[in-house]
Structure formats: C-alpha cells, structure tokens
Amino acid sequence: MVSSRHEAAHRIFQERPELLAPVFHILDVPLPKEAAVEVLTPDATEIRPLERRVDSVLRVDPPDGGGFLLAIEAQGRPDPDKAVSWAYYLAFLKAKHKRPALLLVVCQDKSTADWAAGPFRLGLDDWTALSVHPLVLGPGNVPVILDPEEAAQDLTLATFSALTHGSHRDAPAILKALARAMGTADPESVSYYSELLEIGLEGFPAKDTWRNEMSVGTYFPGRGTLIEETFLKGKAEGKAEGKAEGAAEGEARGRAQGVLGVLEKRGIPTLAATRDRITDCTDLKTLDRWFDRAFTVSTADELFAEEEPGR
C-alpha cells in the first residue's frame, strides 16, 4: 500500500519540476538547460492480469531535442523484488516512448539508499543478461540546509532536503531554518510546502517539530502574509470578544471564529456539523489546539484527530 509519506517523496517532482536542476547537479548528471518537463501517466501495464505502476514519470524535452524519460520511485526499505520491477519499467518506457529512460530512486534513510544504488544484475549465475543502475537521492548526497537565507533561495530544494533528512539529528534545525525562510514566500507556496512536509514527515519525530514551528508562526514574523493576518486576527478576536462579554463563553466564541477564519482563508471546506462542533466548544485549550492545527490540516476533520475522551 502506498503511504502518504511515500507519495510526498516523489510527488514533489511532479508538482515542482524545477527541483530537477539542483537534483541532477547533486547526482553529477547533465541536464539540458531550459528543458520542458511533462508529467506522464505512471501506468506501465500492458495486459490486465498484471498491473504495474511507476510512482512518477517525467518527460524531459530540451529545446534542441534529444530528450529522455525519468522514472521516479520512492523507496522506504530494501526490497529484493524491486530489481525486476525497475528493469521492466525502464524497458517498457523505452519501448513505448522510443526514447532513453533513467530511474531515480528517492530514499529517506542511508541504508536503503546504499542498497538502491545497485547495480542489480539479472541473469543466470555469473552471466548477466540485464543490469539496472539507478540514480539515488538520499541522506548521503542531498545537502543539509541550515541557513534560512539559503533555504529561501530555493524553497523547493530546501523542502526536499527537509523531507530527505527527516530522521537526521539536525532535523529540528533544518525545519527551523525552512520555517523562517517561508516568511519570504507567498501564501500559496507556504500552504503547499507546509502540507507536503506534514505528510512527508509522517512517522518521524520531526513532524511534531514542524507542527510546532507552524503553530507558533515563526515562518511569517512581520511579513504581513495572509496566514499571518489570519493568525493575528483570530487571536485578537478571541481576546476582544472575551473581554467584551466578560466571560469564558465569549472568549471561546471568539477563538472558535478564529479557527473557522483560518480554515476559510486556506480554502478548506467545512460542513455545517463541523462548524457547529467548533462553535459549540467552550474548552479554551481544545480551541487553541484546533486553532494551531488549522494552519496545517488538509481537511477540517483532521482538527479533531486523536481527541481525548471527555473533551
């Protein structure tokens, strides 16, 4: 089963193909300048009984011709069966599109990256009929970016670096630098990269670090972004309404409106039942938790994840 973290590791190449330039530089593989990149179907099925699907497939077309295909696979652990699948993908793509194909394997731990480098030889005993040589990105060759200014120069690479180094000892510092760098970004980019990291760091302690960085607003101090305005407005409304009514009920109502305001600004739909649950809540700690989560969730229901009984 494909996990969310698995998806994040390769989908960033589909949605931010500009990442290919620095990545190919890391791999010491020449990439034509000003090449057009097109996302192709990942389906590599020839007949119905056996379905095969590559994680991502990109077609890279330089202006002067001579393009190639790039099959991208996110790999979470060594798998002896992958060599055959990868060989099939490359042969299929070459046969179907009549152009060269490369395989890029993205790993989030060094042992898997070392294994994925291969080469994988297929054949009989000492006779190699076919050999697969993947390009590999992992903690060993993706740079650790600790400088907010450096991260701000290329948010895509900085985000990919943070995803790759999710288990690194410097993960908190990496995420802190990235959060500060996002203070210079537009709200749409902040929302995209924030959500990608929320998904891609699943299972790592670094996910909690990232949530904390987002909840305290360190990525937008004084920048006047849409998210910053919503954050400050929500807090202010809660405090003002609480003072006006002189009761916890009034403050709770204001904080609830802050939660709904963040969801609205981020374009996350809320059903009537969800809005009622938020506005009916009178527990200030719960509302604060929902407010903090509202900046990173992808659906309104995720606000209520892991609620403790009796809240």
Shared domain for 177 and 60, answered yes or no, is no
Rounded to 10°, the helix 155-164/171-181 angle is: 160
* The predicted structure's pLDDT at residue 162: 92
Highest mean pLDDT: which of 63-72, 180-189, 216-225? 63-72
| DSSP conformation letters of 52-89 | -B-SEEEEEE-TTS--EEEEEEEESS--TTHHHHHHHH
Last residue of a domain, one of 85, 116, 137: 137
Whether 72 maps to a domain, the answer reads yes
The domain total for the chain is 3
- For position 26, which CATH number holds? 3.40.1350
Shared domain for 80 and 159, answered yes or no, is no
Average pLDDT value for residue range 15-39: 84
Last residue of a domain, one of 90, 110, 137: 137
Shared domain for 10 and 85, answered yes or no, is yes
Res. 243 pLDDT band, cuts 50 70 90? low
User: Residue 204 belongs to what domain range?
Assistant: 148-209
Fill in the DSSP letter of residue 185. Answer: S
* The predicted structure's pLDDT at residue 236: 59
Shared domain for 44 and 127, answered yes or no, is yes
Q: What is the pLDDT of residues 128-142, one digit of tens each?
A: 999 999 999 999 999
Last residue of a domain, one of 91, 109, 137: 137
CA–CA dist 253, 171 (Å, integer): 37
Res. 147 pLDDT band, cuts 50 70 90? very high
pLDDT of 44 higher than 60: no
Shared domain for 86 and 168, answered yes or no, is no
Q: State both tokens at 252.
A: 């709770």
Q: What is the dihedral of CA 43, 45, 46, 51, to 10 degrees?
A: -170
pLDDT of 151 higher than 70: yes
Whether 273 maps to a domain, the answer reads yes
Shared domain for 20 and 133, answered yes or no, is yes
Shared domain for 41 and 74, answered yes or no, is yes
CA–CA dist 14, 295 (Å, integer): 24
